[in-house]
Structure 1
Amino acid sequence: MKYNMARIVINLTFLLCFIGLPRFTKGANCFEKVADIVFLLDSSSSIREEQFQDQLNFVQNVADNFKIGNNNIQVGAITFSDKAKLNFHLNTHQNKSELKSAIWRIPYVGGGTDTAKAIAYAREEMFKPDNGGRAWAAKILVLITDGFLNRGLYVDAQEEAYFAKYMNITVMAIGVGSGVQDMDLEGLASTPREKYVFRVDDYQALSTLKNELSIKTCQDAPQNDQISEENLEPEEKPKMLCGGKPADLYFVLDSSNSIHISDFDRQLRFVSEVVDIFDISPSHTRVGVTLYSDGIHPVIPINNDFDKEQLKHRVSNLRRLTGNTNTAAVLKYMREYGFREDIARSEVAHIVVLLTDGKSTNTIKTEIEAKLAHSAGIYVFAVGIGDMASIPELMAIASDPDENFLFKVNNYNALRHLKNILAIKACKVEVTPNDEPVLNDFACGVYGPRDIMFVYDEVNLGLEKSTILRKAIGKIAKNMGLESRHDQRVGVMSEIYAHGSDARLTEIRDQTSFEERLSAANDGKLRGLLRKLRHHAFLPVNGGRSNAEHVAVIFLDKSAQITPRVIREAKRTSFKITVYVVVVGSEESVPDANLISSSPADQFLMHVPTYNDILLSTTSIAKKLCDA
């Protein structure tokens, strides 16, 4: 959002001051607040040295509003260009004058812009106890950026910001100038966006943000007199919370060729360290271990009678296997055999902790099996290790919400940092009641048979967006009660197999035919998807029924090309098929979307702000389909 100067001067110090119950002196000064604040300052060649000095002035002015000290607010700083450069840790400067002097001495570097490395460094290093991080203090990152050189760098930064937020770090994003988009800032910042996203026209205008930023920082911080056992991070009290928690828990360990023997041993140590937190017994927590590569190898059954020390000894003696990474098969095994009625206890939570350092051999099958496991009431924690672990696939494997069930670490050594937080989150999982109501109890009433086809262009959208849509479609289907309603069928169409824009050598004889072929290619894949939907999707050979209503749900975003040819194809399609359109983006992003959907548009056209929001909108989309 954009701010006028007067409003910004009044407000930015107060967001840093009220994180918690406010107690403050006049103006924007924080009083008796406890926060660890790290500034990430852009020092790339995209900004001039005088603009970099404007950033330093801004940080000094914000710090001036704080009570600095190891019992109050601590400030650290990182500059980033091609690499992240530590300027000083949180515990380096413990009084205001020393801190402001250190800020002024931060050097300009120059070079490229790798925001992701800066966020990763801050997340992994800056909040460690040795570097001044305090378990009871609010953790806050303040990122200043003027944009991203390409979408790949932005996606990397978004992933790192996601993991920072998952670790309870509040991310404030300040966009400078017209080169950074609102959507980019919203993808980085914590929620609600109106609280943690800021816009200014240029670096000189940063000074107008100092009061509002300070206020919103302090809003998230506890006061000194509020610090107690309840304020401590999970790492401080896992045994207190998890001792005696009954659960049936499987560790599913990657044992494929990609894992070195020493890294496999680190997995085993991680399992033992997590086991150490729980009370292990037949009446409390029971733990089993399964290895997977090409095949499935259940090495310790969940219904074993080991005590804790015996269990840890058995784990330590496991040996690595070899082969590929068949994640789908092990998820299927867990669902069909791991929690069988004669093995698992129905009255406790069923939990799988799956570790992997790479992509599965079949992503689509893995996503399907993960969805079936979730539907069966199994809570799946997905732990990705290293750069080769696929974030979209981990999102599909993990139960919802992802911030509770998805973990990502850089290497096997870093697993040890997860043991407490994973144990805490696992022990908070509750058994899913068998009589849990579904949306169709109140939304999907009685109607005739329906065949519903969900449609999106996977090639155009790319893997990340397509993964989100596949997960959303699964949730929509579940919310509509389609798993239990045999009169309803669901399919997904995401690719065109015919090369509609190709031309055989005999087809082009003159300029007119050449121009017509190029014009057809410009229609993109959407026209081809609509043709395939109309001609093939509901044929009996593909599962369509002549006595069923035929319904299509088409997902579009701003990349969709709505040409006259596409509109004509959509009109032909709507004669035979009821067409819903879900636009990801604002109403202006696909202005002709109403020409694709059935009429009236207010009944058949829906909008979801961003791909980050679509998983939160599955209930409302399902209700729209059910109310038709």
Structure 2
Amino acid sequence: PTVLLVVGIQEIHVDQEMISKISAAGQLMQCSASLDVLLLVDGSYSIGKGSFERSKLFAGKLCDALDIHPDRVRVGMVQFSSTPHLEFPLDSYLTKQEVKERIKRIVFRGGSTETSRALKYILRKGFPGGRNSTVPEVLIIISDGKSQGSTTMPAMQMKERHITVFAVGIKFPRWEELHVLASEPTEQHVLFAGNADDAANGLYSTLTGSVCSATAPGCKVESHPCERRTLETVKELAGNYVCWKGSKQPNAVRPSLCPFYSWKRVLIKHPSRCFRTVCPDPCDSQPCQNEGTCVPEGLDKYHCLCPVGYGGDIHCAPKLSLKCSVDLLFLMDSSAGVTLEGFLRYKAFLKRFLQAVMGRDSPLNVGVAQYDNNVRIPIEVGQHKDTFGLMKSIDALNFSGGGTLTGRALQYIAQHGFRSTPVFADAQDDLPHVVVLLTDSKSQDLVADAAKYARDQDLFLIGVGSSFMRAELTKVTGNPKQTIVYSDPQDLFNRIPELQRKICSVDNPEG
């Protein structure tokens, strides 16, 4: 499996899809309960100003996971270094925006890392501005865990007071000390500030089991293997060198070998378990049809980004339809002039158009012809009665190369393109015959007479090509309103709605 790397300090061993779900849930969850939350933020020199600013950013993000309100979650903050300093009590700011704005204005103080003194301060003073233990109390310590005194005793007293303690690592934390500070089970109360969404998810996942409202329907807390790392300076024997040592004999020294040590920084690994809330993704059921892209919006909503020609409903159903009944033949230029790239583009356009206008149960009177020096009709009009079979046949069309004899192709199609085979002997095939010419290459024979002959056989001609083909296509169609030109390859696909309208204008060609 892939892993979630958070600055190389914390890894959660899950696949990429799970990473996205953890992050998404972390952004959306809110702990809503009567709760006093005190942030105890390390402002010592071992943290430094840069990491202190990251701690503030994390604290602000954490507020997004809390339903801050006078009757529900209240938040206060203490900064500690050599001495603890009350930044604001729990009853000062009673909306989420006020708390976040106040956190932004807090200034780094600097000093030694006296975590033990800060804990004793809270044990002595209680939660400043709190509700005197009438509601659950949560202490969130944001520190690198490098205290200059033992924290074991005050940490134990915190737990005896039934204060829930989360220890959140910042920078390169000393995880052993954070585990001493955190409530049991420590795996659920130790987090890393390097990824705010992940940490917010971890905080919510733990509190859900005790004080927060229940998780959203379908969401659940899952345990994942994870690994935390810390950067430590270790002493390492580098070798020996000759040194001189004193001797018991007066005025005498003797040679000896003395060890030589070096110091280096190494990452120490701490295997653990991480508990995170994951929710069913609204896109898991793949609700978007026709190659639409599903974009989740929260836990239970989504929208579809639909290809051109789709969007008839929220699931990318075809928004176009042939509201007219016609026999439709596409005449595709397969000569060397359009190149293999152009031919493949026309195939893609043809498939996209047919998917957009043809419903699954629509009767299909569609055929496809190709031409170069010669003309072939690999897909007869009406040959396929379902979209799937038609698409497979279009996929099987091959580029041929050769000359561009558009005039000959038009004459051939006028004579052989619509050989009707009625289902019933007395049935009359009186549907209009529409030919859509797809070409991007000037004809090497005359097209005007052949096109007029085709039109005299009651063929309704539509020409599709790039802008430099406009004049020739108008000669073919006999009407500029039946000519479609595009400015660049991508613009061709934007012409799908226009082609649909022109096909259905067969009964009103001047419209």
- TM-score (norm: length of structure 2): 0.37
**Scaled by the length of structure 1, what TM-score is found?**
0.31
Higher strand share: 2
Which has the higher Rg, Structure 1 or Structure 2?
2
